[in-house]
Structure 1
Amino acid sequence: MALPPSSARVVIIGGGVIGCSVAYHLTKLGWKDVVLLERKQLTSGTTWHAAGLIAQLRATANMTKLAKYSQELYGNLEAETEVATGFKRCGSITVALTDERREEIFRQAGMARAFGVAVEEISPTEVKQRYEHLNIDGVKAGVYLPLDGQGDPANIALALAKGARQNGAQVIERTLVTGVKRDGRRITGVDWEQGAETGHIACEMVVNCGGMWGHQLGKMLGVNVPLHACEHFYIVTENIPGLQQLPVLRVPDECAYYKEDAGKILLGAFEPNAKPWAMDGIPKDFEFDQLPEDFDHFEPILEQAVERLPMLAEAGIHTFFNGPESFTPDDAYHLGLAPEMDNVWVAAGFNSIGIQSAGGAGMALSQWMDTGEKPFDLGDVDISRMQPFQGNRTYLFERAKESLGLLYADHFPFRQKETARGIGRSPFHEHLLERGAVMGEFAGWERANWFAREAQEAKYEYSWSRQNFFNNVREEHMSVRQNVGMYDMSSFGKFRVEGPDAMAFMNYIGGGNYDVPVGKIVYTQFLNRSAGIEADVTVTRIEQDCYLVVTPAASRVADFTWMRRNKGDFSVVITDVTTGEGILAIMGPRSRELLQAVSPNDFSNDVNPFGTAQTIEIGMGMARVHRVTYVGELGWEVYIPTDMCGHVFETIAKAGFDFGLRLCGMHMMDTCRMEKGFRHFGHDITSEDHVLEAGLGFAVKTDKADFVGRDAVLRKREEGLSRRLVQFKLTDWEPLLYHNEPVLRDGEVVGYLSSGGYGHHLGAAVGMGYVPCAEPGEKPADMLASTYEIDVMGARVRAEAQLKPFYDPKGERAKA
């Protein structure tokens, strides 16, 4: 057996389908000195026992793009490597047994069309025609994706490994990585052990493709990779005479999937209460192993399956299989450059979709490694979305119980995780709970999403139609529009940037101009070299050499990492001070009156105009108020030292009785911001959305010194836009929008909504989405001459389109 070399450009750790894909794609880009190390044999962890379902449609456009790429790759891989991948396009059917599930899968069908995936909504009779063995009792509808497929997982991995070898990679088995050498934020090499032999590989980069070992391997490499192994069950029947090729069948309401394979049926389960495995570590000798049978755990799924597919009652069980797979806290895999290190990459935690994801994930990661920039937006899976605490083993164990089952649960809008809750709490948490707050979890924070009335149960009741909190949010929304509301923004990230080069650094990393007086607030974006948006923030100059950057909670780690990686030689210190202050947002026409009732300071336009901050006395404490708004009303964000938060909340709440102050939640903030056309990072604006096409050119100041992305901004201004973010309002008050609904321009699908919600003041659903220019150089204003419709569950609903906000288009209310 070959020993590893003494040096390499990159060492990939883990020889499952993901590691093999990364090696394959790097060598396809011309990389030499690529070394893949596998502790035992290729595929011996999870890949070898995967079900091999290969679907095209994922939850977002880019994840669908990656899944479609995987299919195309596997279809061609056999000819390239002469290794049979078993790939075949047999199609897939998902059936609904409830009206709610029917709406879900029909909305997914609309999304599929917007993403360019072939799909058909089919009746129960048509389901039966395509899957004759199915008992369609209780089936409401189905969706059919004719180009979905299945393959041989182990052989797909082996084909990728062979392709990597053919292009110069070294794939070395039976070689355990035992340690690393580290220099600051870089790994300089890895130690290995092969039988009695030991050695060291000096390297420029490391990729963690450790699968269910990814978490502990991450600790060795100095990075956080939150995932946990769960037991995953399936059975394979004896051979069924005469059984022909069938589409893959999913019955999510019964937690089951079915796959015909070589005349047998494989029945697998994603049960609601999963069994986490190996909290204390995976056994060292684990290789092609399976876990003990637990028929009692699987039996409820099997009982329903025998009713659904009666042939199972007569077919004997050939195999009862229980094997481990890794799951992440949010059921999205981990990809990208780890925040904690500058040369450690991650591709792990594939949540039972590793086969269908591996090709695309390997392609995307290799391009990112090759150029240093993401090839397109990968925010859904970027490892930097994870918070440090999410590496806690107890947290992962508890969340894993739910993560597996959520794959087949109803994917209702606003559905909240139920396990591993209550970890991150703002200073106002108990005050809000006492007043009826219904909490959601976001990036580990417990946040008040809406407030229950006195006699109402403070609990979500999920649906695809108007949910039980719809009117609560409407009341909160209208309080902010007509009177005054208050909500907790403490979860937002806060970074101090200070030092003699603070202004120069901010002017380099951000598109705005930060040479402003102390107390001035600048709304701005951090751009990449293509002028895509890496962060959407506010920046306040709080001292001559000190700025406060405020960012959304979800992108806190990513934005902090972006700033650190672009710091270069600037003499600045960047400090995360998120938990040092709580934030209460006080918004609405009477917000000035309320603040004047609790503070002796002057909140007039002369002293505290829009876009400025000042330090104030409040009650018997101190705070800093920022006059900005994400809801489009007169208002202030009140930044309070954590130790004074309780006192300040009580002071404002007491005075608020006289003003009819209403406590509000995050759902209200979202509906108000959509009426105003305010962009949401991760949905409406991402790293691949050009700042000008997002309609944010006003925030970019190209007449200042050079900054990241400036050339791309100037180039786009000269070339003209290729698309533009447009705001939509339905002309029918009844339908609801969430996001990803197809957008039709003059009868043709041209895109999809990046976000959607209900405009309670406007009286109809609103959304945003990018519309491509009909011809090169088309002016955005000319787009509005077209007729627009939004596809809502297969029905085309007429929509008004505007570039300016539907609510207060001139922004006069915020500046009152």
Structure 2
Amino acid sequence: MRARARAVVIGGGVGGCSILYWLARLGWDDVVLVERADLTSGSTFHSAGLVGQLRGSLSLTKMMMASVDLYRTIGKEVGLETGWREVGSLRLASSPERLEEIARQAGWAKTFGLPLELISAAEAQELFPPMTTDGVLGAAYLPTDGYVDPSQLTFALAEGARRAGAEIETNTRVTAIATERGRVTGVVTDRGEIEAEVVVNAGGMFAAELGRLAGVTVPIVPMAHEYLVTRPTGLPLDMPTMRDPSLLVYFRPESGGLVMGGYERDPAPWSLDGIPPDFNGKLLEEDWPRFEPLLENAIRRVPALEEMEVVRLINGPEAFTPDGEFILGPTDVRGFWVAAGFCAHGLAGAGGMGKLVAEWIVEGTPSLDVWHMDSRRFGAAYASRSYTLARTTEVYSTYYDVKYPGHEREAGRPLRLSPAYPRLQELGAVCGEMSGWERANWFEPNAPAGDEGLRPRGWAGRNWSPAIGAEHVACREAAALFDESSFAKIEVAGPGSAELLEWLCDNRVARDVGAITYTQMLNAKGGIECDFTVTRLTEDRFRIVTGTAFGRHDLAWIRQHAPDDGSVDVRDVTSAYACIGLWGPASRTILAPLTTDPLDFPYMRARELAVGDVPCLALRVTYVGELGWELYCPSEFGLRLWD
């Protein structure tokens, strides 16, 4: 085993082998993959193998499309079978809501460049003869979807990586991640150490444990996922895969028989106290009582299944995330990357995911907008195992639910509460959640002042209230209070702080003390990494205010580029300060009687003032196009400030 590599990939599943393959293809031939047991021995070997391309975002769909492009060719490239079968896929609509859903998906598919067709129930049955059309209102058919053999695909990717110069070390367990001054320096294994400037945690269900070795939280939970395999009965080999989300089940052809699985309403989280160290190439015990409701649903759609002989019920753990999205990208530890949490879709996404992560590592930026998959999207709340479990369980149990615009998850709430939260509740706030924070979307008592006739038709009008319009008008014509305590706040201080921010920001921020600057931070390609305001508090102290969801990302970006000579201190101060926004043409009239300090300082300036008996930093900014201020105070004064 080599003692040094440019990059070490941990994990010999389909995801890790794909990243290794693409790193080598992109010219990083000095790379090595280490696997604790044999290739595919984690979750990959028991995958059901479905590959569906159309997803809820352009980036994820493009990733899946790139996977299909690779799966079509990798077998010929390396001279190995992959089991790729491009048989197409069906998605049934068994309710008016599902019919509306697939109609919207057809629009997305056209935008994404996928040849998805809307077909009748009868046409769906022609493609998948054993199904019944009872209750089916229509279907979506995508002819370029299919399925693949997970182990064969993984070995093909591994062979391609080896041919490009990469090395693979199996039966090599990582016992420590070596770091120095916040940067990864290599890995320690039970067979020796490997120095490396880049380490990729592609450990599948072991990714959380590997993350802890580097001091990084990877919020995943292994969930038991079951599917059955029947004996061949002469069914057509070229049938498409088929999903009936209303019944929570999926099917694919298997050598003249069927594979059938689904997503239960009562998920089974597994091994929450740590995965057994010898759990390699193993399955869980069959759990027929938990699977039987899915089987009953499946028989409703495919009655012949009741008479088929079941060869085996396969029960294996799959790593799920708190929002149902992959976890990809760099972390707070420089050089330590994560590619995990594939939510039972690692096989479908592996080809494109590996390419994207490899490009990100080699070129410094991803080729797609993958913010919704960025490892830094998760806030501090996800260090709590119980919170992660609650959110992940909800993701699994609602996997096949229709997701309407404005949909909010409910598990684990409320968690992070601003000082003003009790008053928001008293005023009838309908709250949403962002990074664990409860935030008012609207106040339902304001609904009668709004116009119900403005409710969007159909899909977009479900999570909506006429209060939104009434509150907009009130802010535009009088004034409104906004609780902005959840906004992420970062302080950059020290003798090198001005120089650092001048280098990172595309606007000039080292102005005179009290100046507020709206700016971005750009990557090497000119793409926007951060978007926020910077206030110069003193000669060597700046406060950044950014979006609630972007705090960890922006903090990591600044720290990644900060000098390590002690001249700059970068810290998250979000919880230290409450913030109330007061905006509208009447805002000065409202604020003036509450302070003896002058309010005539100009736009994009900050100054200290007292509101009643609360010491505040007032920022003369606006996000609503009206006169007003952001008022910051220490959190313990927040409720008093609101009052």
Q: Per the shorter chain, which TM-score range?
A: over 0.9
Matches within 5 A, 1:5-154: 5-154=2-151
Deviation at 1:275, TM superposition (A): 1.2
Whether 1:350 aligns to 2:342 is yes
- Following TM superposition, by how much is the alpha carbon of 1:232 offset from its aligned partner in structure 2, in angstroms? 0.5
8 Å CA contact 1:274–1:400 kept in 2: the answer is no
The answer to whether residue 425 in structure 2 is matched with residue 438 in structure 1 is no
Decide whether the 8 Å contact of 2:536 with 2:543 is kept in 1. Answer: yes
Query: Could you tell me how far apart the structure 2 residues matched to 1:397 and 1:48 are?
Result: 25
Q: Give the letter for the 2:373 counterpart.
A: V
Question: Map of 1:175-324 to 2, 5 A cutoff?
Answer: 175-193=172-190, 198-324=191-317
SS across alignment from 2:617: strand
Q: CA RMSD in A?
A: 1.9
Give, in angstroms, the shift of residue 132 of structure 1.
2.8
Q: Is the 8 A contact 1:119 1:144 kept in 2?
A: yes
**Which of 320-329 and 269-278 deviates more?**
269-278
* Deviation (angstroms), 1:463: 7.0
Q: Which amino acid aligns with 1:187?
A: V
Who is 2:451 aligned against? none
Contact kept, 8 Å, 2:481 with 2:583, in 1: the verdict is: yes
Partner of residue 533, structure 1:
528
Letter in 2 for 1:587: W
Secondary structure at the residue paired with 2:373? coil
Give 1:683's aligned residue.
Answer: none
Distance 1:316 1:621 in 2: 73
Asked whether the 8 Å contact 1:450–1:469 carries over to 2, the reply is: no
8 Å Cα contact 2:322/2:389 also seen in 1: no
Question: Which of these residues, 467, 487, 499, is aligned with residue 494 of structure 2?
Answer: 499
Offset at 1:353? 0.8
- Tell me the alpha carbon deviations over residues 606-643 of structure 1, each in whole angstroms, 9 at most, x when there is no partner: x2222222222112211122122222222221112111
Given that residues 236 and 264 in structure 1 are in contact (C-alpha distance below 8 angstroms), is that contact kept between their aligned partners in structure 2? yes
Instruction: Name the CA distance, whole Å, in 2 between partners of 1:94 and 1:597.
Output: 62
Question: For 1:180 and 1:616, how far apart are their aligned partners in 2?
Answer: 48
Separation in 1 of the partners of 2:291 and 2:586?
58
- Between the aligned partners of 1:620 and 1:572, the Cα distance in structure 2 is 34
Does residue 635 (structure 1) correspond to residue 632 (structure 2)? The answer is no
Following superposition, the deviation at residue 107 of structure 1 comes to 1.3
Where 2:459 maps in the other structure, the secondary structure is: coil
Counterpart mapping for 1:301-700 below 5 A = 301-339=294-332, 341-453=333-445, 464-467=459-462, 469-568=464-563, 571-603=567-599, 607-650=600-643
Moved more, 568-577 or 60-69: 568-577
Measure the CA separation in 2 of the matches of 1:518 and 1:7.
48
Moved more, 128-137 or 553-562: 128-137
The answer to whether the 8 Å contact 2:224/2:267 transfers is: yes
Q: Please report the TM-score for the alignment, with normalisation by the length of structure 2.
A: 0.95
Report the Cα offset of residue 538 of structure 1.
Answer: 0.8
Deviation digits for residues 742-786 of structure 1 (CA, Å, limit 9, x no counterpart): xxxxxxxxxxxxxxxxxxxxxxxxxxxxxxxxxxxxxxxxxxxxx
**d(CA) in 1 for partners of 2:252 and 2:428?**
47
Match of 2:452 in 1: none
User: Is contact 1:384–1:558 with CA below 8 Å preserved after alignment?
Assistant: yes
Q: CA deviation at 1:455?
A: 11
- Contact 1:224 1:338 survives alignment (8 Å): no
Distance 2:640 2:498 in 1: 35
Mapped contact 2:323–2:392 kept (Cα < 8 A): no
Name the TM-score, length of structure 1 as normaliser. Answer: 0.75
Query: Which is helix-richer, 1 or 2?
Result: 2
Mapped partners of 2:357, 2:447: distance in 1: 52
Asked whether the 8 Å contact 2:406–2:463 carries over to 1, the reply is no
- Are the aligned partners of 2:404 and 2:460 in contact in 1 as well (CA < 8 Å)? no
- Report if the CA contact (8 A) 2:447-2:465 is conserved: no
Structure 1 residues 246 and 597, CA gap change in structure 2 (3 angstroms): farther
- Segments of 5+ residues of structure 2 without an aligned counterpart are 449-456
The alpha-carbon distance between structure 1 residues 140 and 282, as it changes in their structure 2 partners (threshold 3 A), is same
CA contact 1:227–1:327 (8 Å) conserved in 2: yes
- In the alignment, the residues of structure 2 paired with residue 123 and residue 600 of structure 1 have an alpha-carbon distance, to the nearest angstrom, of 71
Structure 1 residue ranges, 4+ long, deviating more than 6 angstroms after superposition? none
Aligned equivalents of 2:226, 2:90: Cα separation in 1:
21
Q: What's the % identity of the aligned pairs?
A: 39
1:263-304: CA deviation from partner (whole Å, max 9, x where unpaired): 111111112331111101111111221112222212222112
Question: Aligned partner of 2:497: which letter?
Answer: A
CA contact under 8 A between 1:100 and 1:463: conserved in structure 2?
Answer: no
Deviations 1:200-233 (A, max 9, x none): 2222221111000000111112222111100101
Q: Deviations over 1:713-750 (max 9, x none)?
A: xxxxxxxxxxxxxxxxxxxxxxxxxxxxxxxxxxxxxx
d(CA) in 2 for partners of 1:392, 1:319: 36
CA distance in 1, matches of 2:589, 2:163: 73
Between 142-151 and 510-519, report the one with greater CA deviation: 510-519
Aligned to 1:795: none
Q: What SS class does the counterpart of residue 275 from structure 1 fall into? A: coil
Residue 573 of structure 1: CA displacement? 2.0
1:541–1:204 CA distance, 2 compared to 1 (3 A)? closer
